[in-house]
Amino acid sequence: MNTSAAEAVSVVLLMAVLVCAVLRPRELPEAVVAVPAAAVVITVGAIPWADAVDETARLAPVVGFLAAVLVLAKLCDDDGLFTACGAWTARAAHGSPGRLLAAVFVLASVVTAVLSLDATVVLLTPVVFATVARLGARSRPHVYACVHLSNTGSLLLPVSNLTNLLAFTASGLTFARFAALMAVPWVVAVGAEYLVFRRFFRADLAAGATAPDDGPPPRLPRFALVTVACTLAGFVVTSAFGVNPAWAAAAGALVLAVRALLRRTATPVALVRSAAVPFLAFVLGLGVVVRAVTDNGLTGGLRHVLPGGSGLPALLGIAALAAVLANVINNLPAVLVLLPLTAPHGAGAVLAVLIGVNVGPNLTYAGSLATLLWRRIARSYDHPVHLGEFTVLGLLTVPPALVLAVVALWGGLRVAGGG
């Protein structure tokens, strides 16, 4: 197959995979189209078998890491961690919607950073709905905070997002240095979002709410908290010794899984289901299809428009391009396409891509799969989600959060050296 035909076939299949992932007809798993599409690009010769195997091998540790973190988050939820966090959030609000928004921002940012954006969307959003109903507050600002922070709040750690795991591998950084470079960008991006939310939802925040009933403070599941803390420490230690941090994630998940099985609060089938195996297959299939697209022409086109270097204008340009691409083809394909092009320019360029593909998806529904999943959850609670409102809020939050985060990254690179 010639290059033009291979590119056309690859692009059509990529669009089919993304449309299926966005619409999910009959609630079919994303892998239903992604895996056959990967098989097709291999069969027709759009990507050599050896390259497909190489891409799968490259993504395998990342997918394993993701599976372990998903299991860890689900077991923490089963142990009551998110319910306890919701109760503490309600108490911290003292009947004030403004305080509640601040508490939700802090909670969602931390949960996203430590347990991944999937935990915020799937596990924390229902808790926020319940907390808002309990206080009699308006839900809009707090529920929108969950989806925005599932994206923006995922800047901090390599474990916070699948895009982070990919960027972490490409950056050559240790876990600790990655977190150190992204800490200030994370804070300023979340802070910019918070200031816009306070203004945008001022009418909702001015409405009344009730203080929760007095009672004993909620019980925090200490075993789960200690396991998560040890897992995070394990990420730092394994990375420092050149060991894949996926082993630390697997160890943390294994500890909670064994405990849950012994206490009969989980079954082997439930543990496998919490690993989201169909989604993992989707990631591998998507990776092969994206590799076929990039190898057959997209890489050359992007190379002409992608800024080079690690100066502030270059980093801003890289982040902006990444944000645009994320909203056109989704953030996961965008990061797969851009990382091979930016990695030669250093860790700073890779992290700029990460800012673009994590902050940028707050602009449109299709920007990230997490946003699409959040929309389904919101509708299941009869919460209206309007395209116009979502887009306007995105236009107000994405540009300042992206620019401030990139400036903070540039400053951190200048202070720490390298980039």
Per-residue pLDDT band at 105 (split at 50, 70, 90): very high
351 near 186, Cβ under 8 Å? Answer: no
The letter for the amino acid at 101 is L
Share of the chain above pLDDT 90, in %: 47
Across the range 41-55, mean pLDDT stands at 92
387 near 336, Cβ under 8 Å? Answer: no
CB atoms within 10 A of CB 376: 12
Q: How far is Cα 49 from Cα 312, in angstroms, rounded to an integer?
A: 40
142, containing H or E segment: helix 140-152
217 near 92, Cβ under 8 Å? Answer: no
Q: Please determine, for residue 80, whether its predicted confidence score (pLDDT) is greater than 60.
A: yes
Per-residue pLDDT band at 103 (split at 50, 70, 90): very high
pLDDT value of residue 215: 63
Angle of helix 81-93 versus helix 49-78 axis, rounded to 10? 60
Looking at every residue in the chain, the average pLDDT score rounds to 88
pTM of the model: 0.86
More reliable by pLDDT, 296 or 348: 348
Per-residue pLDDT band at 347 (split at 50, 70, 90): very high
